[in-house]
Amino acid sequence: MVLPRAAKTQRRTRIQEEKEERILEAALEVFSAHGFRGATVDQIADVAGMSKPNLLYYFRTKEAMHRALIDRVLDTWLDPLRAFDAEGNPVTEIRSYIRRKLEMARDFPRESRLFANEVLQGAPHIEDELKGPLKELVDEKAEVIRAWTKAGKIAKCDPYHLIFAIWSTTQHYADFDVQVRAVLGQGNSGEGRFEDAARFLERLFVDGLQVSEQPAS
């Protein structure tokens, strides 16, 4: 036998798992930084510390690498939204969704940029995932939000655009990191910006910008 993928019985060797792990880690690094077309197999091989043909022994094409990466990351990426609980307190749910998304932007910026690159360039490789699983999940959660608004638990608003707003504001800190740093300047670009962002966003989504009742001290 020559090809490691699609082993008859099972994913046998431990060496396969290790190498595939290393490759996907390197692929994440490179794809997230340059997009699909901008990334090169040589670069990924270099980061993974192995030869290009060796890489192509585990993943037959550049696209196969990209696909494997997408498949692995997409599920994790949508976990916070799945945790959205219809039975919970709306404000608490929204607050913790924001916090979780912000934590992911902080801890997994490469994953965020991987998707951002992909979607930004027209999502040529993940169109099906967007129109299928993603849409279905969002539809489901949008219904939850709609129920909350109908029950008068939160202000009436378009649930889809609410979700878009949470996505964009949180992922902004991963996807546009260099711009955020540049604007905040050297002094304020420590990791504290995520806490500031969390404080701001939780307040924004819950209270808006209306004049606060307690005047600044």
List contacts with a copy of itself (CB under 8 A): 33-38, 91, 94, 113, 116-117, 119-123, 127, 130-131, 134-135, 138, 149-150, 152-158, 160-165, 167-169, 171-173, 175-176, 178-180, 182-185, 188, 196-197, 199-201, 203-212, 215-216
User: Looking at the chain, how many residues does it have?
Assistant: 217
Cβ proximity to DNA, 63 vs 136, nearer residue: 63
> Which of the choices a copy of itself, DNA, none does residue 56 contact, using the CB cut-off of 5 to 8 A by kind?
DNA
Report yes or no: 66 and 28 within 8 Å, Cβ to Cβ. no
Q: Taking the complex as a whole, how short is the minimal distance between the CB of residue 66 and DNA, in angstroms?
A: 10
CA distance 55 to 61: 9
Nearby residues of 117 by Cβ (< 8 Å), 6 or more positions away:
31, 32, 34, 35, 36
Q: Taking the complex as a whole, how short is the minimal distance between the CB of residue 18 and a copy of itself, in angstroms?
A: 29
> Which of the choices a copy of itself, DNA, none does residue 6 contact, using the CB cut-off of 5 to 8 A by kind?
none
Cβ proximity to DNA, 12 vs 131, nearer residue: 12
Written as one string, the DSSP assignment of 186-202 is: HHH-STHHHHHHHHHHH
Cβ proximity to a copy of itself, 38 vs 64, nearer residue: 38
CA distance 12 to 15: 9
Nearby residues of 111 by Cβ (< 8 Å), 6 or more positions away:
28, 32, 73, 76, 77, 104
Question: Which residues contact DNA by CB under 7 A?
Answer: 1-2, 4, 7, 12-16, 19, 39-43, 50-54, 56-57, 60-63
Cβ proximity to DNA, 59 vs 173, nearer residue: 59
Place of tokens 């992922």: 171
> Which of the choices DNA, a copy of itself, none does residue 53 contact, using the CB cut-off of 5 to 8 A by kind?
DNA
CB atoms closer than 10 angstroms to residue 215: 6
Q: Taking the complex as a whole, how short is the minimal distance between the CB of residue 119 and DNA, in angstroms?
A: 20
Nearby residues of 177 by Cβ (< 8 Å), 6 or more positions away:
109
Cβ proximity to a copy of itself, 66 vs 172, nearer residue: 172
